Amino acid sequence: MEWETVIGLEIHAQLATKSKIFSCASTAVGAQPNSQASAIDLGLPGVLPVLNERVVEMAVLFGLAIRAKVAPSSVFARKNYFYPDLPKGYQISQYAEPIVSAGKLEIRLADGTIRIIDVTRAHLEEDAGKSTHEGFAHSTGIDLNRAGTPLLEIVSEPQMHSAEEAVAYMRTMHRLVRYLGICDGNMQEGSFRCDANVSVRKSGSTQLGTRTEIKNLNSFKFIERAIEHEVERQIEIIENGAKVVQETRLYDPDLDETRTMRSKEDAHDYRYFPDPDLLPIRISEEYLASMARLLPELPDRKRQRFVAHYRLSEQDADLLCEETAWADYFEQTVEISKADPRFSARWITGELFAALNRANLSIENSPLSSTSLGKLIARIDDETISGKIAKQVFDRMWETGESPDEIINLQGLRQVTDDSVIERLVIQVLENNPQQIEQYKSGKDKVFGFFVGQVMKLSEGKANPSQVNQLLKAQLDKAP
Amino acid sequence: MTIYPDTVAGIANALAKRELSSVEITRHYLDRINALDRQINSYITICEAHALEQARAADRRIASGQGAPLTGVPYAHKDIFCTKGIRTSCGSRMLDNFISPYDATVTEHLNNAGMVLLGKTNMDEFAMGSSNETSFYGPVANPWKFDSVPGGSSGGSAAAVAARLAPCATGTDTGGSIRQPAALCGITGLKPTYGRVSRYGMIAFASSLDQGGPMATNAHDCALLMNVLAGFDAKDSTSVDHPTEDYSATLGHSIKGLKCGVPKQYFDKSLDPAVAASIRQAITELESLGAQCVEVDLPSTELAIPSYYVISSAECSSNMSRYDGVRFGYRCRDPVDLQDMYTRTRGEGFGKETKRRILIGTYALSSGYYDAYYTKAQQIRRIIQQDFKNALAEVDVLLGPTSPTVAFGLGQKSSEPVSMYLSDIYTTAINLAGLPALSMPAGFVDELPVGLQIIGDFFSESKLLQIAHQYQQVTGWHLLAPPLGG
Amino acid sequence: MAIVNNEVQSIATLARIEIKPDEVPEFAAELTKILDFVTRMNTIDTTDVEPLAHPLDALSHSRQDVVIDDDICGTLQANAPQMENSLFLVPKVIE
């Protein structure tokens, strides 16, 4: 019996504004409980919401980036329910008239297949506060700092058919919102949350099976595992003749399983209605045009350009385009180095990323600027130093911030490229190692490497390796 | 015995001429409140120390030549407006212990104008009512007849002004709550155009209908107070950025040639014949001043109340959800779990009428009923607004009774919600349409006041006040004060 | 449109208001009367009529993305029914 998996994803992206969606309180994390909740966020009697214009800009940028319809008029609606972290007893959200609808996201799978997933809608809403259940014997503590933080809820059509596709969609969306500068994508801190709606059906069936909603998916790995586990669970249920229960389930990463969330007593009747405290958001053609001008180069375009223009491998292009900051750093480095871009790609994805990871720094805080790295690569390219020496110079640059030229000159690291000098070194090595010459002559090719090593040692690593090879070969050929 | 001026204009004038100090006039009103309010119960919180402090500051300000037009003039503030550091109860046990940590924008305006807050006035709980009988703090008595209602929900403000326990007051109007108590207490009250006065800090009942406004013994005073209250507020998304004006500038203009429409639907069987006679007399009076009155058609009149009750209940059911015992206000004792805390806090904290409206509103918005109730009511709302637009295309203003009867007896309608709702027949449609309207005293029936309502086009407050002022130049209803039993 | 007693209870639950069993019939009767009254709305045909949500056709206004502290934080304890370590406390919620 062939089964088909059907997955729809709901993402809550916290928009990276300074202040909240309806109040002027700060959205910064880590503050003392209830120190960043204004009268409006607290839902005090008499307060009223006022929309943050930046939130609209961000939603529109997103809509344009996924080629969606941006509504000329969209409405805020109240979603009514009671929970202690929801101060007004309703969440201001959007229901019948969301700001963005009917968009498309292109995803690439590992084998290169491209799929286009429809994004049903994206709408604006406010986040709730946080509940703390630990620390009090019989009470729950409520912190409303997060209440009122702007969210963009992005809903996909149920068009993904594997955990791989779901993860690809998530990654693509994750990168897009960061590129647009509308969300920092920090999944651990909860600024990018994903819920998955999963169901199965017999292959070829057009009817959707009963779906479950899986929450608490805050890493790509968890999403993959949770979906796979849930699919297995549902198939087993159906094969045993039972029915899948429509419910919300939580993914437990420790046990690698999903389990029922304690079901809320009554089915939610949210009694949505247009919020009378807010007027509809009107988006004019002029506004849309001005936002379109602000769109940055999007990840897919950039990646394609890197492959075509810089001749990078798909893999390198993919990696460098993961973040706008990495891509920018790369392009700046290439510009300065004036060398083959693939050098820059190698140095960035290799040495630089390794060093940044060790020091736990982001590229924005790299002690080595793209200009410095570019200059270093230029010196390799013009053969001032060898690749091996360059690694030393890199380390020193990282530590001291000195320029490559300063270090090269100070430490006398210039590559030795004078044939006569190298030849003298080669001759000296050969004179000092007659036995090895014998061994080489008798067919032990590996000894060649030994001689190269000795010449490099004598030259303190500065001899140009290809010249060493050439001259050494010549000398060995001459030797009796 | 000193005779103090008892109008806003009179007091402001005397203060400016240094004939009177703010402290003196404030003490005068505080004394009257102490002596007489026991019988009326128009105040929930009397702010004696605070008032005198403000009065002293006002006197200093006037002395230094920095006084604004109403600096030093005392006022009463409906207990629906947040006042920083002062209890703001909204007439409810739910907020009996709530000391507002911030000032409503309207309160800020009054403070900046240098006016003196005498106290917070009694009101129907959360502004839901037409008789001021639903207050946690007990009913308010009509100063003209203590066993009659003053009207509601701004019953405390209306009674305080009528009994001369304040020269003026603030009120709020969602379905008639300024105009109807003004009519029943024989004073003048204005509901401005929706969005004209800021709602920030004005505890919400029905957000798309609520509007704050002035109440005083005459139109001139209302205009002066309106100058303080009106204005765009960036903190209120429904506030309209329409230029303000001096609402007293055109009071003295003649109303010759004014075209008035009298809706024929208003004079039906629900209108008390004696009240009808008073109203017709008042209309004749206006005609003698040069107004031209014709009959007009407002076919949707009957639909206003049901539409109003659905919309206001729906909005209120959601606005009331924040009263949950979590962050402020009443919390029930010893809750066993969260749901118990919610249900008992709200069960005990809210009065019956509030609970009824929340239930109706919840029902109207619930799945399966939304279209039949809420959508339908909003559609009727558009029809009602169109009817007014059509009528106001033919005439400048509409005239009619504010209330179908004079003040009814305490307890007479409180057990019959529908019958109570029907007393709002002339007022609710105006809130649905968002138009401004004013009520002014126009006579007496059985020794109880009758109010005439004047309805205008959007932002025509000056015209409404002008018409009332002109009427008040040739009549004396607004000068009468209740005897207060001696 | 009669509201039956158990409907009153379910609406009351949605609205989180405790209605004691002996109060239910009275509420049911009153709510029924009110809802019956409200059906007057059906005497008029409203097909194709656009609902009116806001009385004035005003333009929405928004605000700039700036942080302004309204100093309310220090006043919370005074009005809070139960507050400890800067957290509002409610009876324990079991997830």
Residues A327-344 pLDDT 10s: 999 999 999 999 999 999
Question: What is residue A1's predicted lDDT score, i.e. its pLDDT?
Answer: 63
C77 interfacial to chain A (CB closer than 8 Å): no
Domain residues for the domain of B436 are 8-258+395-479
Closest CA to B214 of B203, B195, B230, B201: B230
Hey, how many other C-beta atoms are within 10 angstroms of the C-beta on A385? 23
Residues 6+ away with beta carbon under 8 Å from B446? B274, B406
Q: With 50 as the cut, is the pLDDT of residue B109 above it?
A: yes
Give the end of a domain, one of B379, B409, B424: B379
Query: Taking CB atoms and an 8 Å cut-off, how many pairs form between chains A and C?
Result: 118
- Residue ranges per domain, chain C? 5-42
Whose structure tokens read 């502290």? Answer: C69
Q: Give Cα separations from B480 to B110, B207, B403 (angstroms).
A: 27, 35, 20
Residues from chain C contacting residue B99 (CB–CB below 8 Å): 78-79
For residues A288 and A480, give the distance between their C-alpha atoms in angstroms, rounded to a whole number. 81
The span from the CA of A109 to the CA of C31, in Å, is 58
Phi/psi of residue A263, nearest 5 degrees: -70, 140
Q: CB-CB: which of B237, B323, B370 is closest to A48?
A: B237
C-beta atoms of B328 and C41 within 8 A? no
Q: Give residue A6's pLDDT.
A: 96
- Quote the minimal CA–CA distance from A106 to chain B in Å: 37
Cis check for the bond before B153: say yes or no (omega within 30 of 0).
yes
Smallest Cβ distance to B318: which of A48, A80, A84?
Answer: A80
> What DSSP letter does each residue of B10-43 carry, written as one string?
HHHHHHHTTSS-HHHHHHHHHHHHHHHHHHH--E
Question: If we measure between CA atoms, which residue out of B439, B124, B42, B423 comes closest to residue B278?
Answer: B439
Does residue B19 sit in the same domain as residue B138?
yes
Rounded (to 5) percent helix, strand, coil in chain A: 40, 20, 40
Q: How far is the C-alpha of A114 from the C-alpha of A128, rounded, in Å?
A: 37
Looking only at the bridges linking them, the beta strands covering A248-252 and A257-260 are antiparallel
On whether any CB of chain C is under 8 Å from the CB of B327, the answer is: yes
Instruction: Say if residue B61 is in the same domain as residue B137.
Output: yes
> For A233-300, what is the HEC assignment?
HHHHHHHCCCCCCCCEEEEECCCCEEEECCCCCCCCCCCCEECCCCCCEECCHHHHHHHHHHCCCCHH
Looking at domain C5-42, its CATH architecture is Orthogonal Bundle (1.10)
At which residue do the structure tokens 């709730």 appear? A128
Which residues in chain A have Cβ-Cβ distances shorter than 8 Å to B235? 48, 50
- Indicate the pLDDT class of residue A266, thresholds 50, 70 and 90: very low
**Based on the domain organization, do B473 and B439 belong to the same domain?**
yes
The whole-number pLDDT of residue A417 equals 81
Q: Check if the beta carbon of residue B463 is closer than 8 Å to that of residue B397.
A: yes
Q: Is the pTM of this model over 0.90?
A: yes
Q: State which residue of chain A sits closest to C83, comparing Cα positions.
A: A141
What is residue A263's predicted lDDT score, i.e. its pLDDT?
58
Amino acid in the structure at residue A153: E
Identify the bridge partners of residue A69 per DSSP, sorted by sequence position.
Answer: A101
CATH number at residue B233: 3.90.1300.10
A245: closest CA of chain C, how far (Å): 19
Q: Are B240 and C58 in contact (CB under 8 A)?
A: yes
The model's confidence at residue B368, banded by pLDDT at 50, 70 and 90, is: confident
pLDDT surpassing 70 at residue B485: no
Best residue in A85, A139, A268 to probe C by mutation, most C CBs within 10 Å?
A139
Do B402 and B356 lie in one domain? The reply is no
Answer yes or no: do B170 and B105 share one domain. Answer: yes
Residue whose C-alpha is closest to residue B208's, from A428, A28, A78 = A78
Shared domain check, B109 and B65? yes
Q: Which of A40-49, B227-236, C57-66 has the lowest average pLDDT?
A: C57-66
Phi, psi of B170 (to 5 degrees): -95, 150
Token pair, residue A7, equals: 């997955």
At A394-425, the pLDDT tens digits run 999 999 988 888 888 888 788 888 888 888 98
Whether C11 sits inside 8 A of B359 (CB atoms) is yes
DSSP string covering B311-339, please?
Answer: HHHHHHHHHGGG-SSSSSS---SS-SSHH
What percent of the residues of chain C are helix, what percent strand, and what percent coil, each to the nearest 5?
40, 10, 50
Give C84's strand partners: C87
Closest to C62 (Cβ–Cβ): which among A52, A142, A274? A52
Asked which of B84-88, B433-437, C19-23 is least confident by mean pLDDT, the reply is C19-23
Same domain, residue pair B87 and B189: yes
Please state, in angstroms and rounded to a whole number, the distance separating the CA atoms of residues A275 and A124: 13
Average pLDDT estimate for B211-225 = 98
Confidence of residue B1 (pLDDT cuts 50, 70, 90): low
Assign residue B91 a region: left if phi > 0, alpha if psi is -120 to 50, beta otherwise?
left
Q: Do A139 and C92 touch (CB under 8 A)?
A: yes
Average pLDDT, chain B: 96
A388 pLDDT above the threshold of 90: no
Asked if B331 is an interface residue toward chain C (Cβ–Cβ < 8 A), one would say yes
Average pLDDT of the residues in A130-146: 92
CA neighbor of A79 nearest in space, from B321, B82, B213: B321
Q: Which of A103, A187, A117 is nearest to A159 (CA)?
A: A117
If you measure CA to CA, which chain B residue comes closest to C75? B101
pLDDT at A245 over 80: yes
The C-alpha atoms of residue B330 and residue A287 are separated, in whole angstroms, by 47
Given a cut of 50, is residue A265 above it in pLDDT? no
B78 included as an active-site residue: yes
Identify which of B88, B235, B328 has the shortest CB distance to residue A48. Answer: B235
Closest in B195, B343, B373 to C16, CB measured: B343
Neighbours of A296 (CB within 10 A): 13
Query: What is each CA distance from A64 to A70, A185, A284, in whole angstroms?
Result: 8, 19, 14
Judged by CB atoms within 8 Å, which residues 323-362 of B form the interface with A?
Answer: 323-324, 326-328, 338, 342, 362
Cβ-Cβ contacts under 8 Å, B421 against chain C: 34, 37
* Chain A nearest C-alpha distance from B214 (Å): 19
User: What is the amino acid identity at position B40?
Assistant: I
Instruction: Tally the domains of chain B.
Output: 2
Question: ∠A123-A124-A127 over CA atoms, to 5°?
Answer: 130
| A426 Cβ contact partners less than 8 Å away, ≥ 6 residues apart | A451, A455, A468, A471, A472, A475
pLDDT at A65: 97
Q: Do B381 and C76 touch (CB under 8 A)?
A: no
Q: Which of B102, B322, B366 is facing A87, going by the closest CB pair? A: B322
**B:C CB pairs within 8 Å:** 171
Q: Encode burial over B375-390: b for 16+ CB neighbours within 10 A, e otherwise.
A: bbbbbbbbbbbebbee
Whether B75 maps to a domain, the answer reads: yes
**Cβ contact, residue pair A56, C62, below 8 Å:** yes
- A87 to each of A47, B320, B328, B345, how far by Cα in Å? 12, 11, 11, 15
Pair (B99, B217) in one structural domain: yes
B439 is catalytic: no
Q: Are residues B146 and B242 both part of a single domain?
A: yes
Q: Which parts of C1-95 are beta strand (E)?
A: 62-63, 83-84, 87-91
Determine which of A355-364, B122-131, C32-41 has the lowest per-residue pLDDT on average. Answer: C32-41
Question: Quick check: A142 and C53 CB within 8 A?
Answer: no
* Residue C1: per-residue pLDDT: 58
Asked if the Cβ–Cβ distance from A34 to C13 is below 8 Å, we say: no
Instruction: Say whether B177 is catalytic.
Output: yes
Contacts of B326 in chain C (CB under 8 A): 81, 88, 90
* Pairs across A and B, CB distance < 8 A: 100
Is the model's pLDDT at A178 over the cut of 60? Answer: yes
Q: Are residues B101 and B155 in the same domain?
A: yes
| Residue B1, Cβ density class (10 Å: 0-12 exposed, 13-18 middle, ≥19 buried) | exposed
Instruction: Determine which one of B78, B145, B191, B463 is catalytic.
Output: B78
Mean pLDDT across B185-194: 98
User: Which residue among B204, B238, B326 places its CB closest to the CB of A279?
Assistant: B238
Residue at token pair 């001899």: A463
Exposed, middle or buried by CB within 10 Å (0-12, 13-18, 19+), for A339? middle
Cβ-based contacts of A281 with chain C (< 8 Å): 60
Domain-embedded: residue B117 = yes
- Give mean pLDDT, residues B405-409: 95
**Contact check, Cβ <8 Å, C86/A132:** no
Alpha-carbon span B353 to B205, nearest angstrom: 13
pLDDT at B244: 93
Burial B234-266 (b: 16+ CB within 10 A, else e): ebbbbbbebeeeebbeebeeebeebebbbbebb
Instruction: State yes or no: pLDDT of A172 exceeds 60.
Output: yes
Query: Do residues B364 and B250 both lie within one domain?
Result: no
Cβ neighbours of A51 in B, within 8 Å: 237
* Nearest CA-CA distance, residue C73 and chain A, Å: 5
Contact B314 A47 (CB under 8 A): no
Percent of chain A with pLDDT over 70: 98
Q: Is the CB of C76 less than 8 angstroms away from the CB of A19?
A: no
Please write the tens of the pLDDT for every residue from B55-95: 999 999 999 999 999 999 999 999 999 999 999 999 999 99
Tell me which residue in B95, B323, B365 faces A273 most closely, judged by beta carbons: B365
Residue B472: partners with Cβ closer than 8 Å, 6 or more residues away = B188, B218, B219, B220, B440, B478
Note the helical H segments in B350-415: 352-365, 370, 376-394
Note whether residue B384 is domain-resident: no
Per-residue pLDDT of B142-170, as tens digits, reads 999 999 999 999 999 999 999 999 999 99
Q: Verify whether the Cβ–Cβ distance B318 to A273 is below 8 Å.
A: yes
pLDDT at B486: 39
Quick one: average pLDDT of B247-272? 96
Query: Which residue in B148, B177, B403, B414 is the catalytic one?
Result: B177
Q: Which residues contact A187 (CB under 8 A, 6 or more apart)?
A: A174, A193, A218, A219
Percent of chain B with pLDDT over 70: 99
Does residue B1 lie within any of the structural domains? no
Average pLDDT, integer, range B249-255: 97
Give the closest-approach CA distance of B464 to chain A in angstroms.
Answer: 27
Can you spell out the DSSP letters for B474-486?
H--GGG----TT-
- Let me know whether B316 and B459 are in one domain: no
B208 contacts A20 by C-beta, under 8 angstroms: no
Phi first, then psi: give them for residue B45, nearest 5 degrees.
-130, 125
Cα dihedral B409→B415→B419→B423 (10° resolution): 50
A142 shares contact with chain B (CB less than 8 Å): yes
